[in-house]
Amino acid sequence: MPTKVAINGAAGRMGQRLVALGCQDESLELVACFEYTGHPKFGKDAGEVAGVGELGLHLIEKTDEPYDAIIDFSVPEGAHAAVERAVAAKAALVMATTGLEDEHKAKIREAANVIPVVWAPSMSTTVNLTMKLCEIAGEALKDIPGGADVEILERHHRFKEDSPSGTALRFGELIADKMGITRHIHGREGRPGARPHDEIAYHAIRTGDNPGEHTIIFGLLGETIELTVRASNRDCYASGALQAAKFAAGKKPGLYNMNDVLGL
């Protein structure tokens, strides 16, 4: 039986790619495409909005159709609504929206007591693999004589609303955990003085239509290692999210991440 999937934020940049890839995947069935009522494309056919032709699925706010999983790529308020929908439908939730406030995060954790939730700031295989590599680097360099300076650069399209990216923050958390770092700073200006080793600095670049890239620098005295991961388009995130929906549907309640989905 195909996994029945609903998409929240279906008219957005990511929502459109989920519709486009989802309608070609025989192992799943798109059953609902949600947007809020005031959206300029509300009521239109989601396939036409996504540029793949009419699918007979309209951008709606409510449905009586049952679904096994809901995927959310929207905004914090939309994510909040998706959690409520998932719990009410007893469906799995794939949470991809970033820039969430603490109250939204608490709501997701609470939902994981009653439904399966896959929650990750990046659904990309190569990003999640790079996170593993950074954990290895952090562990290996944590006590290196002279210290290793960690700087995280991220580059995204001009329309992105949250900074730094959720992915950059996750890279920082994972590395900080391995290296025992507690100070996180965002950019530098003025005369901050010599750089202490026990800090991670984030730099967010916004330019053009970049679908997302991250560079993690470990700077030593005399040598440097940099790990870069770059999306060529959004399909790496969309296909990861569809895979996560199939993974989570029917699983027992709990919080899962993309390592669980990808077997990393």
Ligand X SMILES: NC(=O)C1=CN([C@@H]2O[C@H](COP(=O)(O)OP(=O)(O)OC[C@H]3O[C@@H](n4cnc5c(N)ncnc54)[C@H](OP(=O)(O)O)[C@@H]3O)[C@@H](O)[C@H]2O)C=CC1
3-state secondary structure of 154: strand
- Of 148 and 152, CB closest to ligand LZUJQKHR: 152
Q: Is 239 in the site for ligand X (CB under 6 A)?
A: no
Q: Which does 156 bind (CB under 5 to 8 A by kind): ligand LZUJQKHR, ligand X, none?
A: ligand LZUJQKHR
Q: Is 39 in the site for ligand X (CB under 6 A)?
A: yes
Q: Is 101 in the site for ligand X (CB under 6 A)?
A: no
Q: Are 239 and 21 in contact (CB under 8 A)?
A: yes
Give me the helix-helix angle, 76-89 and 102-111, nearest 10°.
20
The tokens for 166 are 């959720």
Residue whose C-alpha is closest to residue 144's, from 225, 215, 47: 225
Beta strands in 130-212 (DSSP E): 149-156, 183-186, 199-206
Q: Which does 254 bind (CB under 5 to 8 A by kind): ligand X, ligand LZUJQKHR, none?
A: none
Q: Which residue has the tokens 């239109």?
A: 44
**Residue 3, annotated ligand binder?**
no
Q: Is 156 in the site for ligand LZUJQKHR (CB under 6 A)?
A: yes
- Of 198 and 257, CB closest to ligand X: 257
**Residue 116, annotated ligand binder?**
no
Q: Which does 172 bind (CB under 5 to 8 A by kind): ligand LZUJQKHR, ligand X, none?
A: none
**Binding-site member from 5, 11, 86, 176 for ligand X (CB under 6 A):** 11
**Residue 91, annotated ligand binder?**
no
Residues 206-225 that bind ligand LZUJQKHR (CB under 6 A): 212
DSSP string, 193-236: -SPPSSEEEEEEEE-TT---EEEEEEE-SS-EEEEEEE-SSTHH
Residues classed as catalytic: 156, 160
Which residues carry a binding-site annotation for NADP(+)? 62
